[in-house]
Amino acid sequence: MIAIRKTLPASLTVATISLLTGLLISANARADDIAGPNAAGKVAEISALTSAFDSPQTCLNFDPIERYGNELRFQIRRNDSPVGSHIVQFHRGTDGIQVVAQSNIDISFLGFNAYSFRYRSESLWQDGKLAALSVKVNDDGEQTTINAKQDNGQLLVTGPDGEKDLPTGIFPTDHWNCGVLNSTSVLNTLTGNANDVTIEAKDHEQLRTTSGTLMATHFTYSGDLITNAWYDQDGRWVGLQFEASDGSTIIYRCMNCMTRTGQKDRG
């Protein structure tokens, strides 16, 4: 991960990395791809994960425009105070589905801007798989670029650690696609490396958004990335929470999710 540089920004930097890259699982493990002596166990595992949704097919061939419309918006909160936003936009083009994700974080200390973070990723999805990716990050002045593209049956990724080949079915850490929940490896979009992750479905619970509450399933992630994420019954990503290295609580609170209650968030 990124080295610690300054006392306050360092803690926030780690928090931001967890926010944007320590979130989800990956490597496309679909039921129709399973073969071999461990197939029965893998089918059972996938069934357990997808039991959180209306149908075992909910996360297969995930079309974000059908699920979200053209935009998904989150408020980013640190210790229950708003510090930024995360916005994902979806566009259907002639060559596939284009996804643009942007995060902006600004934290003030004693009236001064103590830390800022800017993240932008542009990705192209074809037949449910990542075909191309371009990421630019400005982490309080430290800039990073990552690019990925399909090449001879692999995903060629170029990042701070050089070039590497990853499976074409791997998911990046943008977590809007619930197909990631059946995976064990994810493309970290801040490092360009593959991270190993274990995922487990927990309880159904009422989740708070900025405009009310909705019923969602809680998923926990462990391994190289540790976090808590929530998805509704239609497989839409609706929330995120984890503890940063400085002990603060980081939350993604959905701003345009469909809710059961109409109570406006006053925070």
Q: Could you list the residue range(s) of the whole structural domain that residue 151 is in?
A: 7-254
The predicted pLDDT at position 110 comes to: 84
Residue 91, classed as helix, strand or coil, is strand
In-domain check, residue 249? yes
The predicted pLDDT at position 184 comes to: 92
State the average pLDDT for the chain.
Answer: 80
Q: Which of these ranges, 31-45, 90-104, 183-197, has the smallest mean pLDDT?
A: 31-45
In-domain check, residue 12? yes
Question: What is the sign, positive or negative, of the torsion defined by CA atoms of 248, 219, 226, 240?
Answer: negative
Residue 255 predicted with pLDDT over 80? yes
In-domain check, residue 169? yes
Q: Which of these ranges, 44-48, 134-138, 227-231, has the smallest mean pLDDT?
A: 44-48
In-domain check, residue 265? no
Specify the number of domains making up the chain: 1
The predicted pLDDT at position 210 comes to: 94
Q: How far apart are CA 121 and CA 102, in angstroms?
A: 7
Q: Which of the four pLDDT bands, split at 50, 70 and 90, describes residue 19? A: very low
Residue 112 predicted with pLDDT over 90? no
The predicted pLDDT at position 260 comes to: 57
The predicted pLDDT at position 17 comes to: 39
Q: Which of the four pLDDT bands, split at 50, 70 and 90, describes residue 11? A: very low
In-domain check, residue 104? yes
In-domain check, residue 264? no
The predicted pLDDT at position 245 comes to: 65
In the numeric block, the tokens 């929940």 are attached to: 181
In-domain check, residue 2? no
Count Cα atoms within 13 angstroms, Cβ side, for 37.
Answer: 0
- What length is written for the chain? 267
Q: Can you tell me the mean pLDDT for 45-66?
A: 78
